[in-house]
Structure 1
Amino acid sequence: MTEEEKVFSGGVAVITGAGAGIGMGLARRCGEIGMTVVVTDIDKGRADKVAAEIVAAGGKAEAIQLDVSKPEALDALAQDVFDRHGAVRLLINNAGIETIGNVWEIPAARWEATLNINIHGVVHGVRAFVPHMLRVGQEAWIANLASIGSFGQMPTQTAYIMSKHAIQSFSECLYLEMQVAKAPINVCSIIPGMLKTSIFDAEAGVGEPESAASHRATMAHMMANYGMDLDEGSRVFVEGLAARKFWISSQPEMTEQAVAGRIAFFQNQSNPELGEQQRALLGI
């Protein structure tokens, strides 16, 4: 029996945005180690498909349609899952979208969607589930999806980068709040470097300015050719959760490099500037 199975087998995992991408990979891995997986996604068809795959592989799963941009939907989900299952051992606030374009060119609706999904979805996921976790009193885990972008700068990806900076700081403060409250809840920051997912696919850019298409295509090509295998990344993430780590990186060397760059930026108090890789991505 693996350490992940010892820690999580028999427990319930609730994962947002689990119909595709990293959420899907995490859902499959949680199913493999013996968890009952609540697969949530705004697209019920995608959630159904992932849940069916987990069941077909011998696991336990159920699919629920969920729009994380609506706080009341997260409240209802938490109440429903605790009413039916009694406890949640692992909550993964994964749902998120990538938005590309200059700040002034992104339509208001796309800005609002990005902030409501990427930031408020995590905040209200925690707000909705924690009171139930505290009431049950068992050891539990909350994992929030940050990003290698939580420690950097990237023009035309400002909306996404900003949201991930926010999630990293939110998770750090939440970790300390759990310590102060002496709560049996582990808080973890999941930091993907570059994994093979569909986040940069063309259809995911609906509502972005037309100028975003070329950058989205470049990023999709880069991810497909150089990204880490999704299942391998998900295995690394769940392994880190079982070890009760706060920092859980798919590619630690990428995180170390990004953090080192951020530290130097703060220490030098220099002006933001483009690196060679950023210039290449932007075609400069």
Structure 2
Amino acid sequence: MASAAEVFGGGVLAVTGGGAGVGEGLARYAASIGMSVAIGDVDVDAAERVAADIVSAGGRAVARRVDVRDASQVEAWADSVYADLGPVRLLINNAGVEQFGYLWDTPVDNWRRLIDINVTGVFNGVKAFVPRMADAGEPAHIWNLSSIGGVAVAARQGPYIVSKHAVLALTENLLVDVRGAGLDISVAAVLPASVASNIFDSAGGVEAGDEAASDAEREAMLKLRDTAMSPLEAAERVFAQAAGGEFYLLTHAELVGTAMAARGEQLRTRTAPRSRT
């Protein structure tokens, strides 16, 4: 089986949300196997810090402020990546946010922000990069970040779970579309479980309703960081699976695999869902 360096080394990675967490791990690991890295992040200072570290280590990296909710910004970023680094071999639509609290307590603005980032942001990345990848005439890859939450449900995280189910469906349909169009683009869905990041710190809460339930869910998720996988280890696992041609890329193969099997069984038997938390 080919290694990640053999499949991806020497190519260009474009990653959204690459300034921290899973995205940062993916960017740093990609650089370690010889990829040039373009980091797009709404937190440009974080993106520039990661890019500067990669360059200091002898790699090639650029950073740009990108709000994935804005299709014109994503288009402009794609133009700059192709101009500065060359054809993109791997696009990772990673940017995402969380939301805690009961679904009916979720502020409307928080709902819209989360769906715009987690779902529309992935669509904007696909729309900006696929035509450029097709025009380049070289093999390319797209990974979209779903989650273990994309194959499960979790109490008091409804908007996030909805978004990750949507990303998984988007990715599965993207695979069918690129095959139908005869494009030389591989597509994969990344389903992380617990990976160290600040997504729970910055998650939205509720302004009215059961604030205690929202706060308790945040605290429970924050405790997971004590035993969470490092972003770099998660990236290494994901890259290895992608190099082997897998579609579902799992950071925790047993845990996420069990959730996938349970989801399949639930649908097969038409059993009402239960929260995994």
Answer yes or no: same fold by TM over 0.5.
Answer: yes
Supply the AA of the counterpart residue of 2:203: G
The structural deviation recorded for 1:35 is 0.9
The structural deviation recorded for 1:57 is 1.9
Partner of 2:223: 221
Supply the AA of the counterpart residue of 1:139: P
How far apart, in 2, do the equivalents of 1:273 and 1:33 lie? 41
Partner of 2:261: 260
| Residue correspondences, number | 272
Partner of 1:140: 140
What per-residue deviation string (whole Å, max 9, x for no partner) do you get for residues 4-52 of structure 1?
2222222111000001100000000011111110011101110011111
Q: Output aligned runs, 1:151-162, within 5 Å.
A: 151-162=151-162
Indicate yes or no: 2:169 matched with 1:169.
yes
Any unmatched runs of 5+ in structure 2?
none
The structural deviation recorded for 1:91 is 0.4
User: % of aligned pairs identical?
Assistant: 37
How far apart, in 1, do the equivalents of 2:123 and 2:218 lie? 27
How far apart, in 1, do the equivalents of 2:99 and 2:260 lie? 23
How far apart, in 1, do the equivalents of 2:17 and 2:240 lie? 20
What per-residue deviation string (whole Å, max 9, x for no partner) do you get for residues 150-209 of structure 1?
1111121000001000111111111111111111100011110111222112xx035544
The structural deviation recorded for 1:63 is 0.8
TM-score (norm 2): 0.94
Task: Tell me: CA distance 1:231–1:108, structure 2 relative to 1, closer, same or farther (3 Å).
Answer: same
RMSD over equivalenced CA pairs, Å: 1.5
How far apart, in 2, do the equivalents of 1:99 and 1:233 lie? 23
Partner SS, residue 190 of structure 1: strand
Partner of 1:205: 203
The structural deviation recorded for 1:112 is 0.7
Task: Tell me: CA distance 1:251–1:66, structure 2 relative to 1, closer, same or farther (3 Å).
Answer: same
Supply the AA of the counterpart residue of 1:205: A
Partner of 1:73: 73
Supply the AA of the counterpart residue of 1:113: R
How far apart, in 1, do the equivalents of 2:274 and 2:3 lie? 43
Partner of 1:7: 7
Partner SS, residue 104 of structure 1: helix
Partner of 2:104: 104
TM-score (norm 1): 0.92
